[in-house]
Chains A and B, each alone.
Chain A
């Protein structure tokens, strides 16, 4: 039995069941980011030096490029979902809201792609 009004069904309005996946992905990425955030904080604070040679060696060595890639990718994904909700709540008007949502999506994809590119660049230049 469906509780949806016949008119809503005809207009294809009503739940698309997409809200749950947004909510769920936000929680799943949050769960993944919690340990990554703790690792990143401790790792950054315990960098022995901030000079070019030691920083690139640290970024490129062992699991560091993989963990940093996860921080960038999952971080950008989680941030995109979060910023989307903030825009939907505070930015009004169809055109402005849609434009803000699109800009946010493009910037987050750009951040993820740039971060991944930089990490690959550094990791491939560092002897494993």
Chain B
């Protein structure tokens, strides 16, 4: 069984940036499964009372904590945008190479802008953010 060749055998393909988006969809998907764990941990701590919540808050509001939240939000935005691209393909739209490359560029641009907005919203002076 183990000796059989694997498909897709990716090393034989010339790399194109749409392939990077494809593997990023998987990576962000797995990351978001972990982020869901974080969201539920946050809800659980809030349900356990003020003390349990207060124990978690400094972690969330530290610079690494906020950065991690921004990364999770960026993963969500990317996975959501690229997911819509996949749904469009499932309907048979946008399969031409030029279309796929254009939608890929659009996904990257939207993700970068939205990620910058999240970064600003989380780190803006004054309010504590999330």
Contact = CB atoms under 8 A, between A and B. Distances in A.
A103 interface: no
A66 interface: no
Given A37-B76, A45-B130, A83 B44 contact: no
A59 interface: yes
A93 to B, nearest CB: 8
B127 A45 contact: no
Contacts of A93: 2
B33 A50 contact: no
Contacts of A114: 40, 44
Interface of B: 2, 26, 29-30, 32-33, 36-37, 39-40, 43-44, 46-47, 50, 53-54, 57, 60-61, 73, 76-77, 80, 83-84, 86-87, 90, 118, 121-122, 127-130
Contacts, number: 101
Nearest to B45: A118
Interface of A: 27, 30-31, 33-34, 37-38, 40-41, 44-45, 47-53, 55-56, 59, 68, 71-72, 75-76, 79, 82-83, 86, 92-93, 107-108, 111, 114-115, 117-119, 121-122
Contacts of B47: 117-119, 121-122
A33 B61 CA distance: 27
B76 to A, nearest CB: 6
Nearest to A87: B30
